[in-house]
Structures are given as structure tokens and as C-alpha cells.
Structure 1
């Protein structure tokens, strides 16, 4: 009896739940096509499943990490892009990208690559003792204005690399296995006796969803303590849905096949500084509840909001049924 009563309740809810039909007249552009208002424009940046978007307070630029390392100025225009490869590794929370041969510094106006001026302790057949290494590294450490650590051991040497910038030139020093490295693949590695020296970049965040603009779920969901936990983020406008038309059943009960959620085309409206722009893309509509856009609106923390009027949108559909092809990252910037 309880099962029948529950089934009847679900059927009743399903039949009575309102679904707003989309207004097809004056159909706005697909999100992927971009949209604009009098003063703002929303422009496609690149494909991404989970983008990492951060900001350099010292050098005033945004870094978008997807299939490229993309550098944007504070007006929201791309300066350059460096393609990501298996041989390039960004040092977490920095604007440095390391290879086996040298370092890219993404803080410049163009992609700048510097070969290592020296390589220390890189002989695979032997290694420095801990005491010898500490003496050499300690002297270099004191001279360096930047010290960062690789995100994983070198494949051939099985030793963590340390990258030091001394008087504008880069040196790589490989760390003996017996030296304790506090290893965190996504937040950066360091050593207690020789802490890293660099200007940390700041994550953007979606104030509505609470997601940080990180390409790692643990960080994105704020499961690791970060400086951003103490920042206040405010969305500079409003993102809402205007209409929705159910097209496919996305989820249903296991036994009876009663729909629990639908997906289909929706019209979205973004309002900023009193100006509105509309676009269309799929949304997900639970039987009980409002449509879910699967869009994050990433912004700077409030303390940095006066630096730039630029923000970013990321559309991350659950599957191809809940997308019309707009998957990726977008920059929302003032028109010039």
C-alpha cells in the first residue's frame, strides 16, 4: 500500500508540476554565438570541461587555463595563448609554466620562454647528499627572488625540481629523495625549511553556486582551506532564466520510469549595470524546482573588484543531452 501511495504521489506531482514553454518569437542567439548590450559583450573563449581562472594582483591580468594557458588583460582581451602539452606543466597558483628545458613567464605582454641557465643534481646515476644539497640550495635560495617547486617528480630522476630565478635567470635544482617535500599536486609543493617565494594568484569564484574557478573538484568545492575562504565575492549582476521548453527526460524513477527532471531549450537573461542581454541554451528542469542553467558566473573578490569590470561565464552541461553545443568558457567584458 505504501508503494502504491508513493507512486500515486509521484505521478500526481509529475502531472501537476508546471513547465514553462519557451517563447520562440525573437529567438536570442545561442550562447556559443555570443551576445551583447549597449556597454557589454559576452564572447566565447574556448572549450573546457572545468576551467581554471585566476587573477594576478601584482601584474594585473587574468589567466584562463583550459586546453591553453590564456592571458587576458583587465579589459578582457586576450594577450596571447600558450598551448598546453604533455611536456608543459604550470606551477600551481603561479604564472610560470615549466618544461624540461626552461620556464615560460606568462606575466609578460607576450609568451616569454627562458632556458635554464644551470641544472643542478640532474645526474640520474648519482645524487648529492642531503648535507651537500642543503649547502648549495641554501646559497641559491638566498639570492633568488622567485622560488617555486614542480608539481611532480621528474620522470627519469624521480626527484622533485625546484625552480629559482636569480637576477633574471632560471636555475633548476633537483631535490634528493631523502629531503621531505610537502607535495600537493593542485595547490603546489613546498619545503618547511625553504618555503616557496612567489606572488600567489587569486581564484575567481561564483558567488551564487559557491564554486571556485578551479579545474580540480576538491578545490572547486572548497574542500581544501584556501586564502579565498576569507574573501567576499559578489556577483556584479543577475543571471536568470526567462523561459524553458521540456524536450527530453533526463532522469526518472528506477522502477516506474516516472520523470524526475527534464532538459530542453531555455532562454537566459543576464543583467549587469541595468543592461540586459539574452541568449539561449539548454537547461535542466527538476519536476519540483526551478530550472538549473549549469552556468557559473566567476567574478573577482570584492576587494579586487575595482581593478577590472571583467568576469567570466562557464557552461558545464552534465551531458550532450543538456547542451546545444555551447560548452566552454566566456569572457564578459565592457565594449570598447
Structure 2
């Protein structure tokens, strides 16, 4: 295994990748980047010998110390190289994605690890188009495109203890079977967490705070469990979609929705909102949630008494629910 030092051995990361004079970068090698400001790079899925390029480690000196700064549409691009490990740097000021994992010409680019990285002032902070990746303790701020801080298009990705604040959206999930555990989505202009296509994702233990909408679920068969959705401008948690088609089969269990909605707003707000038609194919189960200080409703199901959805054990205080049976009798 060879360790390349930037800028001691080569002036940039891309210079290490493009070098054709032995030793060249091969599978299992590391690139260590000292403190300073550097341009973008693309890690391909083949080395200069045409062999598969896997298990490359690229590490900086820390957030705010090693900085990859704008000048190209995307910042750090992993173009199909699987099992890449990225750690300890900032990616800033790219019009496209700060960190982009995409399928390469020859390899899938799956099973990467992204840890302790900041993506700020980009179009999208972290753009994950491949599968089975792990993102731990990363930070996304001031990313302005639809995908916001974390755009998750792939499958079976795990996001753990990340923070996405003051982006257009916090987490924009269009893939399936992804797990988001103990993450923060705070003060994002639109949604803290948006599940918009795909389905069968898991959100457990996350915090959605001071967004427009806390958790926005527009797909089927998701588990939304033990999250906190607090002080969002409109709804805390919503199940929405085309009437009569989606969302269906979601389990919303053991969450806390507190202080959502505005008494001065022109829209009807709630702690948990379920659109008319949701659950028609397969009922959603909204159970054992705790709701307090939400305007205008604790729980609002547009279907009212005709709802096909299942309600049990919800504890609601301060504001009514519709239908009343959405909360345990005597709790409202």
C-alpha cells in the first residue's frame, strides 16, 4: 500500500490520480491531504493500468482545514470506485454537488464510507446515487438546490448522526431501503426530511426542528419511529400524495410532534397530517405518538371518520384531533 501526500508528493489529488509514472495510484492506496485549499477531483473506477480501482482512502486534516473549493460543477466525485473512504475535509462553493457518489463506466461505486466531512454553499451537499454506503457525522449547510443537504437516490444506504441545517431541504430521499438514524434536519427552507419516491425507508431517532415541514412522507411502506419533529412552521409529520394511491402502509410510531404550526398562518397546520386517500390500498398505522402544543390540530386526517388508517395509543394535548378517535379518548 502506497501513501501519497498532497501537496508534498503531488500538488493536487487529481495529480495523484492522473499520474502514469510508477508508483501509480492502485487499489488499497491512500491519499493524505494537508491543510490548505485545493481544487476538485474525480476518482475513476480504473487505475492507469486499466485495473479496477477500489478501497482508496482520501483523508484531509479536518473540517475547515483541508478545503476543496469551487471552480467546477461538482467537487469531490467518486465515479464508480467502490469501497472508497472519504474523511476530514470541507467541500465548498460548487454549483453542482459537493460530494458526489455515482455509478462509473465499469463499476457500481457501492460500499463507500463518508465520515466527518462538511459540505457548504454548494448546489447539493452530499449526492448519493449508489448503494450500500455509510455516512457518519457529516455536516451540510447552505446548499441551495432541490436535493439540499443530503440527496439519497441509491438503495440500502445508512446515514447516522449527520447534521443538515439551513439548506433548501435537509434530507431528500428518492431511493429505497435506506436507513436514517439519529440525524438532525434543522432550519431548512422546505422539509427537514422528505421521502418522495422509492419507499420502504426507515427513519428512527431523528430530529426535525424549525423547518417548513418536519418529516414529509410521500411514499409507501416506510417506518417513521421515535423521531422528534418540533417547532416546524407548518406540519410536524405529514403523509401526502395522490388521492387514493399513496402513501400507503406506512408506520408512524412513537414519535414526538411538539410546537408545530403557526396560530397566525393562513393554512391549517397540525402535529401529524394525513391526506384524504392515504391508506386506501394499505392502511397507515399512526400509533403511540405524543403530540403537544401543535396548531391547529394535534392529528388531522382529511378523511375524518371514514379514514381507513389505524390509530392507537396516541397522546394529544392542547389541541383537538380529527377524527377525535385519532387520539385516545379523554386525552384531547
TM range (shorter): under 0.3
Larger Rg over CA atoms: 1
User: In proportion to residue count, which structure has more helix?
Assistant: 1
Q: Which has the higher contact order (CA 8 A, sep 6+)?
A: 1
Report the TM-score, using the length of structure 1 for normalisation.
0.24
Report the TM-score, using the length of structure 2 for normalisation.
0.24
